[in-house]
Amino acid sequence: MTAFTAFATRAIALCIVTLFGLLGAQSAHSAEKNSSLRLLVVPQFPVTEIHATWSKLLDGLKKEGLPEIELVFAKDITEFENLFKAGQAELIYCNPYHMVMAQKAQGYVPMIRDNKPLTGILITATGNNSTSIKNLSDLNGKTLLFPSPNAFGASLYMRALLKREKGLEFTTKYVKTHSNVIRGVVRGEGQAGGMVNATLLAETPELQQKVTVIYETPPVPPHPIAAHPRIDASTREALTAAILGHIKTHKQVGEDIQIPNPVRADYTKDYKPLENLGLEAFLSN
């Protein structure tokens, strides 16, 4: 048995003991009702796509002996925010600024993130006709598509930079998901749209070729998986070790959930600096 395998085995065993200890502390009725942890995933993509990708991770962890983690969904970003602000999920996968909001609202603790920084991108339709967008100034007065007001790199940070630093005035149209942004731009529903680099790369090569990146935001640490503080530190550590180990040995699982190269996340180092960006004026409540 390798040192890594031994470590992973101990981590999984610890997770099982602590998680069932946590559940066992509840009443019999409560334990029956809450027999699994809940994972709430930010709705960047349609529900069917979220289910298909994240179920692979959760099913894999269950097969390795971990208690069941139930995947729960929000119909849109607003519902997603309301759910984590109320602490309705033990685990969340959220954007970087949602991590700030979740930490302030409930004390969520980031566990894992990818090691590649997140970059917000502004895309336009590829073309050579006279109406093509050549630079940012061409977007003044135009319609820009965004998934939702508080999607961090694709909308919140992007809109703040375009208005504050680039001096652009534009009409904002929210279309719920990143997938809708790129398709709307291709169809001409807006002259440009906000996404993040990872979601663009998740699209088919044919669709990617129909758009051009015209602007990128400065990089920030990407979306974390975070735990509610009612999950105790030892359980959180066991979960972190188990997820890290599973993704490292099942590379495609990590690719599918946009965490191909997972590392441990730290709120103070990774996300606390975002508190100083002054984005409150661009938040939607």
66-107: per-residue pLDDT in tens?
889 999 999 888 899 999 999 999 999 999 999 999 999 999
Continuous segment of H or E residues that includes residue 139: none
What's the total number of domains in the chain? 2
Residues 59 and 196 in one domain: no
Q: Which domain, by its residues, includes 253?
A: 3-115+222-282
The tokens for 281 are 């004026």
Q: Are 74 and 43 a contacting pair, CB within 8 Å?
A: yes
pLDDT tens, position by position, 109-158: 999 999 999 999 999 999 754 457 888 999 999 999 999 899 999 999 99
Q: What is the pLDDT of residue 131?
A: 58
Q: What percent of the chain has pLDDT over 90?
A: 75
Instruction: Assign residue 35 the CATH number of its domain.
Output: 3.40.190.10
Residues 96 and 145 in one domain: no
Mean pLDDT of 15-35: 39
DSSP H helix total and E strand total for the chain: 11, 11
Residues 110 and 63 in one domain: yes
Could you say which of 216, 246, 265 is where a domain stops? 216
pLDDT at 5: 42
The domain boundary, picked from 216, 246, 274, lies at: 216
Helix, strand, coil percent content, the chain, rounded in steps of 5 = 50, 20, 35
Last residue of a domain, one of 172, 188, 216: 216
Q: Do 9 and 110 reside in the same domain of the chain?
A: yes
| Gap between the Cα atoms of 49 and 272, Å rounded | 30
When the pLDDT of each residue in the chain is averaged and rounded to a whole number, the result is: 87
Q: Per-residue DSSP letters for 218-269?
A: PPB--PEEEE-TTS-HHHHHHHHHHHHHHHHH-HHHHHHTT-SSEEE--III
Rounded mean pLDDT, 182-204: 94
